[in-house]
Amino acid sequence: MDKVIETRGLTKYYGAALGIRDVDLVVRQGEVFGFLGPNGAGKTTTIRLLLGLLRPTRGEIRLLGQDTRRRFQSLLRDIGYLPGDFGLYGDLTGAQYLEYLMRLRAGRPTPEQKAAMNRLMRRFEIDFAKKIHGYSKGMKQVVGIIQAFMHLPRLTILDEPTSGLDPIMQEAFYELLVEETGRGAAIFFSSHILREVERVCGRVGMIKEGRLLNVEAMNERGALLGKKIAVKAPRDAAAMFQRLSELDGVHDAALRGGTLELLFTGDMRQFLRFLAPFEIQDFTCEPPNTEDVFLRLYRADRDV
């Protein structure tokens, strides 16, 4: 059983207002999948649909190979979830609260689950003996993250897990993801932050205005980020510029003096073949400024 999440034509309207439309997603066992999108894009809507907290207007959802319209409760044992607005109040200490949630989730936890909970608590090093009403926002978020993983689920779905975390806690979270995938678990998490998605995800799906734009593997050809290329060719730059339409994956091309500048997300071999016939003086190729790319992806239409 390879696919842990599979949606087909997943659509949600809130009355007349669009939540998401025709979202087809596949997430596989052992991968960290980043779900990237601006405010109001449909990330939380998608996640709440996956968890059965919202009813789809239409479309299908399979989690861990099962149609979620059937036997959803039993599936939930194998799933971890951190909501975007994880609120925590009360008179219990952090440790007591986690134990309480564990019993709720797993009945009687296995020795492995107990060990996992303790390991997670050591990893994040906040004061679990303190009562929760004295916790900061980040400390509550840490408790939220721990409860999403402590029962050793096969799939964990997190809505903006790193919001409110300081850099050290963020780092601990990223390390945790690596460890989780090492035991074959899958993680699906939403974020606005390209850098973290770029760093920790094997694949990323981008959503905008309720539509899934594209799903990219981060390691394939730098497809998501591309390369910033400048080709200095005083005699040929204009001719090259005119023939750029022959290439797939050219963005933001511009001619500056005798230099052709562009952002390239296509196949680099194809690009080098394209260059070969021209008289080239100099050539630079570097990773683009991530913020620029992010904005470009957000602004661009379906065929980014």
Of 83 and 258, which has the nearer Cβ to ligand ATP?
83
Of 30 and 38, which has the nearer Cβ to Mg ion?
38
Taking CB under 6 A as the binding criterion, the range among 13-21, 135-143, 224-232, 278-286 that sits at the site for ligand ATP is 13-21
44 binds Mg ion (CB under 5 A): yes
How many positions of this chain bind ligand ATP (CB under 6 A)?
A: 12
Minimum distance, C-beta of residue 247 to ligand ATP, in the bound complex (Å): 33
Q: Which does 129 bind (CB under 5 to 8 A by kind): ligand ATP, Mg ion, none?
A: none
Q: Which does 37 bind (CB under 5 to 8 A by kind): Mg ion, ligand ATP, none?
A: ligand ATP
Minimum distance, C-beta of residue 159 to Mg ion, in the bound complex (Å): 6
265 binds ligand ATP (CB under 6 A): no
17 binds ligand ATP (CB under 6 A): yes
In terms of DSSP H, where are the helices of 10-133?
43-50, 72-76, 94-106, 111-124
Of 38 and 84, which has the nearer Cβ to Mg ion?
84
- Rounded to a whole number of angstroms, the distance between the first and last alpha carbons of the chain is 31
Report 65-104 residues binding Mg ion (CB under 5 A): 84
d(CA 6, CA 9): 10
**Of 191, 134, 200, residue with least CA distance to 171:** 200
**Of 116, 90, 92, residue with least CA distance to 102:** 116
Of 43 and 154, which has the nearer Cβ to Mg ion?
43
Q: Which residues of 135-160 are buried (b: 16+ CB within 10 A; e: fewer)?
A: beebbbbbbbbbbbbbbbbbbbbbbb
Strand partners for 216: 204
Per-position x/- string for 75-94, each x denoting binding to ligand ATP as judged by CB under 6 A, each - no binding: ---------x----------
CA distances 41 to 35, 126, 153, 210, Å, are 10, 33, 27, 5
**Of 215, 236, 233, residue with least CA distance to 297:** 215
Of 85 and 303, which has the nearer Cβ to Mg ion?
85
Report 18-77 residues binding ligand ATP (CB under 6 A): 19, 37, 39-45
Q: Which residues of 5-37 are buried (b: 16+ CB within 10 A; e: fewer)?
A: bbbeebbbeeeeebbbbebebbbeebbbbbbbb
162 binds Mg ion (CB under 5 A): no
Q: Which does 19 bind (CB under 5 to 8 A by kind): ligand ATP, Mg ion, none?
A: ligand ATP
d(CA 164, CA 187): 19
Q: Where does this chain bind ligand ATP (CB under 6 A)?
A: 14, 17, 19, 37, 39-45, 84
